[in-house]
């Protein structure tokens, strides 16, 4: 007890976390409602904006419901890590969380190693690395608030930021995830849904070329479910691609004026 | 072609952008001699300032402050702690200033910026020394429980005058702070009363410990202004470019009654004489009034 | 109009100063500086070839490493490092040794108030000992503001705790030669570094600055005497 009274007293949040599965997910009825009242195959409204950070070569802000993300792109610039000559460029990704990103995270919010490497893998297929030899493009993401489907939002936002920075790419990059709960598939899940999912499915694709750069499936899935999820994601990605295209067009016409 | 020996002569033939990059100091000095800055501001004028409250839904109080392009987001999370023995009826505020790699090309992941801990320290010094918050208001149960306010400030875009923007966002976040209503449960822990959940039904019947204390009273609000001293010029609210070219920065923090809370100058080529100190204080007073108005507008809605 | 100090000093009387240079063999320059019971050791290594992080093709770089008496380095020490680094950069001639790094290591031996000014003075003496080209010296002083509105110089730890506000001020040393005036003020009246804690009125701040300035004359004289002595011995 004595230790508790020191200067660095241990603290706890007075909010009670729901640890059990919310009752709405227990049944198998089809008339469940999602916590935010969406349909199962409906994405959250997306707010996208380029040029959020003036200090960066390119940047974007994305808000999908409560998930709020900023991505900055720096470069192509000198490689800081002492490495040998390379005639293709390098990509360096980092994803971090703010301390207030989610109520459960507490002060743990720092670098997210897993997401950093996933982001790297998702992006390296779409960037024309040979256009910036010897140099590095840095893609840094900060999750301001985590409200579910964080990684897909980070990846889509990074795609937009890369386009804003004028980095050569084969196509825009979009990512969408699907959660499987019981027999139902839910696209673009929120944190509560992700917390009680049986399986998750995330796809990163180039919407115009219909090519996939990354696909992750975890948990229990049946083959028909995978097919359905894939179809859902492809559709959602092409829609998201349209929104991103509009956003970039708007930014470009605004700067022309 | 005749050899051009000084950059002064070159300036006539060179494109403005190239001149700005090659001879930044001379570029600025030519602007200053016309009492104007490259972004069109007069010397003593600060950039447009915007404050937005309550953007972070997961926090108890939050604010976004924007001075020009410099953007700060501040959020406060309230947690419960056991107060220390020497001050059993006081809470605590922990301030942390972060510079994530997104904010500036000079910050790299895994290598925190040198400025970040220094700004954290100065912010917490100022918040405690000017008595902005009465720590006794953070008391829940004397000797047993008090609030610990975690104030996290993230720099989203670094374009000069970081300290000013950070302090402004911190003040705005405190003005936005809504302390959760809590009660003491049977185990001696403090739990929040948020209507709607059945588990809390038993707690709701209990008396809330802090029914009336939902807002903190901000007794004394500090405002700051950073100025650059360069030769005989004083530039208020510098951008990152100006900070990198002219290195003498003076940060003046004044409280509501125009007393000096901090007068900070760390080195730099220019020395601050009495008249320069006076001018900086005057500029800070003017800026304080502006910021008070900006925050005042926020409180109405 | 006198305020009583526990150790019997007058308000603007400094504690006894002591400085010895070239006390360590390995560093290129070293000095110990004490004001009363506060004692700080400073060592200077350099100029060395610029490291990757501190590379600057036009200017010399400085790094300051602060070693507390015990325990780990915290935010306060980081702030001291930054203040010291910027102060040193402003008094040294940076263009003579471009693309080099000079390390200044500060070891706190004992803290009895006015720690940062003491460290700045120590660093300054060590830089002179290492032969780093400098424009002028920096003379640092701590001014405290007591409840009653008096200014007390060079406080010890006990006094520091009781004071409402204090200011660490760094001035250029007073010179014997005639220097041009800046806006009607001698150059040595300009402040290099100012760090304040606590709330004070603008007039009180100027009172601190004035008293601090007055004290720098005696500090400068001490510096000069000390440097002349060692030169004579060699």
Report d(CA A61, CA A156) in Å as an integer: 10
Rounded mean pLDDT of chain B?
Answer: 85
Q: Across the interface, do C185 and B265 touch by the CB < 8 Å criterion?
A: no
Q: Is C172's Cβ below 8 Å from some Cβ in B?
A: yes
Q: Is B290 exposed, middle or buried (0-12, 13-18, 19+ CB in 10 A)?
A: middle
The CATH number given to whatever domain includes residue C224 is: 3.30.230.70
The pLDDT of A183-202, averaged and rounded, is: 88
Peptide bond into A76 cis (omega under 30): yes
B192-228 confidence digits (pLDDT tens): 776 444 444 444 445 666 666 678 888 889 999 999 9
Residues B187 and B134 in one domain: no
What is the pLDDT at residue A39?
84
pLDDT beyond 60 at A90: yes
Q: Is the pLDDT of residue A73 over 80?
A: yes
In the predicted model, is pLDDT for residue B4 greater than 60? no
Residue C187 DSSP label: G
Does residue A257 register a pLDDT over 60? yes
**Domain housing B224:** 40-179+215-300
- Position A17 scores a pLDDT of 53
Q: Which residues pair with A92 in a beta bridge?
A: A138
Of C4, A200, B116, the C-alpha closest to B124 is B116
Confidence check: pLDDT of B141 > 60? yes
- The CATH number given to whatever domain includes residue B244 is 3.30.230.70
Neighbours of chain C (3+ CB pairs under 8 A): B
Task: Count the domains in chain C.
Answer: 1
B-facing residues of A in 17-76 (CB < 8 A) are 18, 52-56, 59, 66, 70-72, 74
| pTM (predicted TM-score) | 0.90
Name the residue among C78, C88, C194 with its Cβ closest to that of B265.
C194
**pLDDT at residue A56 tops 50:** yes
User: In this prediction, what percent of chain C has a pLDDT beyond 90?
Assistant: 47
Is C90 among the domain residues? yes
Of all residues in chain C, the percent with pLDDT exceeding 70 is: 90
Percent of chain B surpassing pLDDT 70:
88
Would you tell me how many other CB atoms lie within 10 Å of the CB of residue B299? 9
Q: What pLDDT, on the 0 to 100 scale, is given for residue C127?
A: 94
The pLDDT, as a whole number, for residue C58 is 84
Question: Is 70 exceeded by the pLDDT of residue C181?
Answer: no
What average pLDDT does chain A have? Answer: 84
Strand partners, A176: A203
- Number of domains forming the structure of chain B: 2
Contact B81 A96 (CB under 8 A): no
Residue C228, pLDDT > 90, answer no
Under 8 Å between Cβ of B267 and C120 = no
Closest partner CB to B129 (pick from C82, C85, C198): C198
Task: Tell me the C-alpha distance between B125 and B97, whole Å.
Answer: 13
DSSP-assigned beta bridge partners for residue B249? B228
Domain that holds residue C150: 17-233
Domain borders along chain A are 36-256
- Range A87-93 average pLDDT: 90
Where residue B298 falls among pLDDT bands split at 50, 70, 90? low
Banded pLDDT at C178 (limits 50, 70, 90): low
Lowest mean pLDDT among A70-74, A165-169, B175-179, B208-212: B208-212
* A145 part of contact set with chain B, CB < 8 Å: yes
Task: Measure in Å the smallest separation between the Cα of A75 and chain B Cα atoms.
Answer: 9
Reported as a pLDDT band with limits 50, 70 and 90, residue C85 is very high
The 10s digit of each residue's pLDDT in B254-286 is 998 899 999 999 888 888 888 899 999 999 999
Across the range C20-40, mean pLDDT stands at 92
pLDDT mean over B105-113? 83
Asked if residue A215 has pLDDT above 90, the reply is yes
Rounded to a whole number, what is the distance in Å from the CA of A56 to chain B's nearest CA?
7
- The interface predicted TM-score (ipTM) is 0.88
Yes or no, beta carbons of B117 and C78 under 8 Å apart: yes
Q: Is B269 in the same domain as B154?
A: yes
**B25-38: pLDDT as tens digits:** 999 998 899 999 99
Structure confidence at residue C180 (pLDDT)? 61
Looking at beta carbons, which residues of chain A come within 8 Å of B84? 5-7, 9
In which order are the strands placed within the sheet that holds A184-187? A184-187, A174-181, A199-206, A211-219
Chain B: closest CA distance from residue C204 (Å)? 9
**Rounded distance between C-alpha atoms, residue A141 and residue A161, angstroms:** 10
What is the arithmetic mean of pLDDT over A132-154?
92
CATH for the A36-256 domain, from 1.10.8.60, 3.40.228.10, 3.30.230.70, 3.40.50.2000: 3.30.230.70
Out of A10, A53, A80, closest to residue B156 by CB: A53
Report the half-sphere exposure of B280 (CA within 13 A, side-chain side): 31
Residue C4 lies in a domain: no
* pLDDT confidence band for B46 (50 / 70 / 90): very high
Q: What is the pLDDT of residue A191?
A: 87
Q: Which of B198, B214, B230 is the last residue of a domain?
A: B214
Q: Are A10 and B73 in contact (CB < 8 Å)?
A: no
Query: Does residue B128 sit in the same domain as residue B247?
Result: yes
Q: Is C32 exposed, middle or buried (0-12, 13-18, 19+ CB in 10 A)?
A: buried
| Confidence (pLDDT) at A118 | 94
> Would the CB atoms of C206 and B274 count as touching at under 8 Å?
yes
A to B CB pairs, distance under 8 Å: 122
Query: Which of B117, B125, B265 is nearest residue C197 as measured by Cβ atoms?
Result: B125
Q: What is the DSSP letter of A25?
A: G
Q: Write out chain A residues lying below 8 Å of B191, CB-based.
A: 14, 16
Judge whether B31 lies within some domain.
Answer: no
pLDDT, tens digit (0-9, with 9 covering 90-100), for C51-64: 766 677 888 889 99
Sequence-distant (6+) residues with CB within 8 A of A83 are: A90
The C-alpha atoms of residue A188 and residue A151 are separated, in whole angstroms, by 11
Q: Do the bridges between strand A174-181 and strand A211-219 make them parallel or antiparallel, or are there none, so unpaired?
A: unpaired
Other beta carbons less than 10 A from residue B80's beta carbon: 24
Q: Is the pLDDT of residue A5 over 50?
A: no
Instruction: Report the pLDDT value the prediction gives residue B9, as an integer from 0 to 100.
Output: 55
pLDDT in tens, B230-259: 888 999 999 999 998 888 999 999 998 899
Beta strands B92-98; B260-265: pairing state: unpaired
- Which one is predicted more confidently, A4 or B231? B231
For C123-177, the pLDDT digits (tens) are 999 999 999 999 888 999 999 988 777 888 999 888 888 888 889 999 988 776 5
Query: Does residue B166 share a domain with residue B193?
Result: no
Return the pLDDT at A78.
Answer: 84
| Residue B174 placed within a domain | yes
State whether B260 and C83 contact (CB < 8 Å): no
State the average pLDDT for chain C. 87
Q: Are residues B102 and B220 in the same domain?
A: yes
Q: What is the per-residue pLDDT for C129?
A: 92
d(CA A189, CA A152): 11
pLDDT at A3 over 70: no
């Amino acid at each position: 007890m004595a230790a508790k009274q020191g200067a660095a007293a241990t603290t706890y949040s007075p909010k009670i976390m729901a640890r059990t599965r919310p009752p709405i997910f227990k049944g198998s009825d089809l008339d469940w409602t999602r916590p935010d009242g969406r349909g199962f195959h409906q994405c959250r409204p997306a707010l996208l904006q380029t040029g959020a950070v003036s200090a960066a070569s390119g940047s974007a802000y994305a808000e999908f419901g409560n998930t709020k993300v900023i991505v900055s792109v720096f470069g192509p610039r000198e490689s800081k890590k002492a490495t040998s000559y390379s005639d293709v460029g390098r990509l360096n990704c980092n994803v971090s969380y703010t301390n207030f990103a989610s109520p459960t995270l507490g002060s743990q919010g720092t670098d997210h190693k897993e997401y950093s490497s996933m982001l790297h893998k998702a992006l390296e297929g779409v960037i024309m690395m040979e256009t910036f030899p010897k140099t590095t493009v840095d893609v840094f993401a900060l999750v301001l608030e985590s409200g579910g489907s964080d990684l897909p939002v980070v990846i889509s936002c990074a795609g937009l930021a890369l386009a804003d920075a004028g980095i050569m790419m084969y196509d825009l990059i979009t990512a969408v995830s699907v959660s499987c709960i019981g027999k139902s598939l839910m696209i673009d899940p929120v944190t509560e849904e992700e917390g009680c999912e049986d399986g998750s499915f995330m796809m990163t694709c180039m919407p115009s070329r219909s090519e996939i750069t990354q696909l992750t499936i975890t948990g229990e899935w049946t083959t028909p479910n995978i097919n359905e999820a894939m179809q859902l994601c492809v559709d959602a990605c092409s829609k998201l691609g349209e929104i991103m295209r509009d956003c970039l067009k708007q930014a470009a016409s605004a700067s022309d004026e | 072609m005749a050899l051009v020996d000084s950059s002064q002569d070159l300036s006539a033939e060179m494109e403005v952008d190239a001149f700005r990059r090659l001879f930044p100091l001379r570029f600025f000095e030519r602007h200053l001699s016309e009492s104007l800055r490259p972004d069109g501001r007069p010397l003593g004028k600060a950039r447009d300032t915007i404050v937005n409250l309550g953007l972070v839904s997961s926090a108890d109080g939050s604010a976004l402050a924007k001075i020009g392009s410099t953007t700060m987001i501040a959020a406060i999370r309230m947690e419960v702690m056991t107060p220390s023995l020497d001050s059993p009826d006081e809470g605590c505020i922990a301030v942390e200033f972060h510079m994530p790699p997104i904010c500036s090309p000079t910050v790299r992941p895994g290598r925190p910026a040198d400025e970040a801990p220094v700004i954290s320290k100065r912010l917490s010094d100022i918040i405690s020394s000017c008595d902005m918050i009465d720590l006794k208001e953070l008391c829940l149960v004397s000797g047993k429980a008090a609030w610990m306010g975690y104030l996290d400030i993230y720099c989203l875009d670094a374009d000069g005058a970081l300290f000013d923007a950070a302090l402004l966002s911190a003040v705005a976040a405190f003005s936005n702070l809504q302390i959760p209503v809590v009660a003491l449960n049977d185990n001696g822990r403090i739990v929040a009363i948020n209507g709607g959940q059945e588990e809390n039904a038993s707690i709701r019947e209990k008396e809330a410990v802090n029914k009336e204390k939902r807002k903190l009273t901000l007794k004394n609000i500090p405002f700051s202004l950073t100025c650059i001293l360069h030769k005989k010029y004083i530039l208020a609210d510098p951008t990152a470019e100006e900070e990198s070219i002219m290195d003498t920065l003076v940060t003046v923090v004044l409280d509501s009654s125009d007393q000096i809370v901090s007068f900070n100058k760390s080195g730099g080529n220019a020395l601050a004489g009495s008249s320069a100190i006076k001018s900086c204080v005057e500029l800070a007073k003017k800026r304080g009034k502006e910021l008070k108005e900006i925050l005042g507008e926020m409180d109405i809605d | 109009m006198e305020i009583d100090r526990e150790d019997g000093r007058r308000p603007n009387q400094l504690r006894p100063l002591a400085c010895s240079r070239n006390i360590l063999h390995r560093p290129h320059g070293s000095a110990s500086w004490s004001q009363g019971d506060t004692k700080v050791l400073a060592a200077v290594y350099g100029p060395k070839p610029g490291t990757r992080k501190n590379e600057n093709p036009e200017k010399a770089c400085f790094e300051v490493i602060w070693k507390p008496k015990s325990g780990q380095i915290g935010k306060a020490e980081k702030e001291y490092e930054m203040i010291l680094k910027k102060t040193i950069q402003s008094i040294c001639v940076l263009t003579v040794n471009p693309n080099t790094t000079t390390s200044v290591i500060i070891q706190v031996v004992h803290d009895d108030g006015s720690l940062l000014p003491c460290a700045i003075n120590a660093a300054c003496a060590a830089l002179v000992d290492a032969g780093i080209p400098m424009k002028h010296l920096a003379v640092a002083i701590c001014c405290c503001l007591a409840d009653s509105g008096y200014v007390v110089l060079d406080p010890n730890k006990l006094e520091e705790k009781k004071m409402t506000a204090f200011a660490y001020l760094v001035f250029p040393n007073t010179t014997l030669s005639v220097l041009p005036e800046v806006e009607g003020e001698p150059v040595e009246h300009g402040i290099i570094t100012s760090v304040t804690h606590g709330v004070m009125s603008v007039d009180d701040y100027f009172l601190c600055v004035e008293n601090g300035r007055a004290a720098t004359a005696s500090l400068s004289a001490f510096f000069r005497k000390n440097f002349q002595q060692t030169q004579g011995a060699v």
